[in-house]
Structure 1
């Protein structure tokens, strides 16, 4: 091989090597240039994800804090009168003339529930006797977010009391009528009940004033041959007692009869334990007839 040929071959080799180096440097530069782009892209992606998570968290917290807490209208009445003092002495003399004092029922919370009963026996010897029995029951309901407003709970109980009075076993001549002037709503239920002691005339008057239910049970009988008392007279007396008891409730809470409270009380945090239970049942006419003073 001539010297010129060898030179040209060497030149070609160098040229090829130079081209290969140029191409290799180009690839390196391209790769190096691509790395920052990838890093920048990755950084942007990471930052975006972090911001999105923080945004979601903030939005969640904002949504949670914006949710309103459950509320319920506050109960108007917060206390009850002393049940044995709910009626005037004059009224008691009319309804139970021979009663010496009232017997207060047991209660685990006197601000929520209470009752008092009186028994009267006018003994006329061989001419017979007139028997009377009176019971006043008071039940107050607090407002609670899970159970509802106090007046709503009282209305439900009011309706249940009327149903119970209308469905007494063996009751005859059952009659119901609305009563005016006794709170927000009131109903009188009367019926006849014949027992071995005699024929009883039973009156049950149920009244609701705001979140309190007043139940008056009043019965009378002529015993040992004495004449049976007038149902109309007994009903009027029972209604009178109910109106007085309702007035006592409103007065105890600083309001006028059937009026609204002078100051808006705060809602109770939790329902009263006593209010969630029905009060003890009043003695039946047959039971009350056996109670003689």
Structure 2
């Protein structure tokens, strides 16, 4: 009986010891499982970030760089040689050699002007003034293709001519056979010296805009020149100037060299410079308008 009582007394202690051991072992296993789970979760997160980064890099490499059609014409001719000597003799018969306008980049903008005063003494005199200006536009990925920029400037030049200060009897007529598009704006300017007949021909060939100003007046009592004759003369000068532009770029008159796509939108070192739209006009201001 005594031995059984001792065993019964030890059994509860043994049972409690075993239960305590199982609890401690279970508690120790929980952190291990949490650590393992945490490692597994972190590893999956990193894999997701890496995969997203790889997909983003692949997407960027697959996207093409912005391109724009390269401008057809890359240079301008010498401005004082764009009109033939014969035409100059007809338009400004008493004129001296042309006066080249100031330009910091003659591949982008250039101009030349001539004036003539045929003095007939007491019978009066005939005044003539001719100016040719050229503005070339480069293609640019942010601003657009060169020919589009030239078209915009072409329209601006026509509008400026049509709204010239003091202009009377303004008429605009399309001109054929001169570049890709052309028009002539004609009007009268009343001055104290007499009535000046002004003709402005604006022509675009590819990415170049050519503007020809030609005016004439009969001074000191001489008769006013015929406007129709002056228009024909201005159109002739414009046609020669456009032909000179195409020839300078290795194309026959009226030809259209094909451009190639350019990722940078430039074909020369000056392409990043935006041409000043008023630079050629300011360097070739008509004496008639200053009188």
> So what's the TM-score if we normalise by structure 2?
0.91
Alignment of 1:168-179 (within 5 A): 168-179=164-175
Q: Tell me the equivalent position of 2:100.
A: 104
CA gap of 1:31–1:120, structure 2 versus 1, over 3 A, is same
Q: CA RMSD in A?
A: 2.0
Q: 1:286 and 2:282 equivalent?
A: no
Contact 1:203 1:217 (C-alpha < 8 Å) held by counterparts: yes
Contact 1:155 1:208 (C-alpha < 8 Å) held by counterparts: yes
Q: 1:151 and 2:147 equivalent?
A: yes
Alignment of 1:67-82 (within 5 A): 67-82=63-78
Q: Tell me the equivalent position of 2:201.
A: 205
User: CA deviation digits over 1:77-114, x for unaligned, max 9?
Assistant: 11000000001111111111111210000100000001
Q: Which of 108, 113, 135 is matched with 1:139 structurally? A: 135
The structure that has the greater radius of gyration is: 1
Q: Tell me the equivalent position of 2:251.
A: 255
| Structure 1, unpaired ranges of 5+ | none
CA gap of 1:7–1:262, structure 2 versus 1, over 3 A, is closer
In the alignment, the residues of structure 1 paired with residue 259 and residue 27 of structure 2 have an alpha-carbon distance, to the nearest angstrom, of 81
In the alignment, the residues of structure 1 paired with residue 50 and residue 254 of structure 2 have an alpha-carbon distance, to the nearest angstrom, of 56
> How many Å apart are 1:242 and its aligned residue?
0.3
CA gap of 1:79–1:126, structure 2 versus 1, over 3 A, is same
> So what's the TM-score if we normalise by structure 1?
0.90
CA gap of 1:40–1:209, structure 2 versus 1, over 3 A, is same
Contact 1:108 1:274 (C-alpha < 8 Å) held by counterparts: no
> How many Å apart are 1:271 and its aligned residue?
3.9
Q: Which of 53, 59, 62 is matched with 2:49 structurally? A: 53
CA gap of 1:108–1:265, structure 2 versus 1, over 3 A, is farther
In the alignment, the residues of structure 2 paired with residue 259 and residue 221 of structure 1 have an alpha-carbon distance, to the nearest angstrom, of 36
Q: Which of 10, 16, 19 is matched with 1:14 structurally? A: 10
Contact 2:67 2:261 (C-alpha < 8 Å) held by counterparts: no
> How many Å apart are 1:201 and its aligned residue?
0.6
| Structure 2, unpaired ranges of 5+ | none
Contact 2:69 2:259 (C-alpha < 8 Å) held by counterparts: no
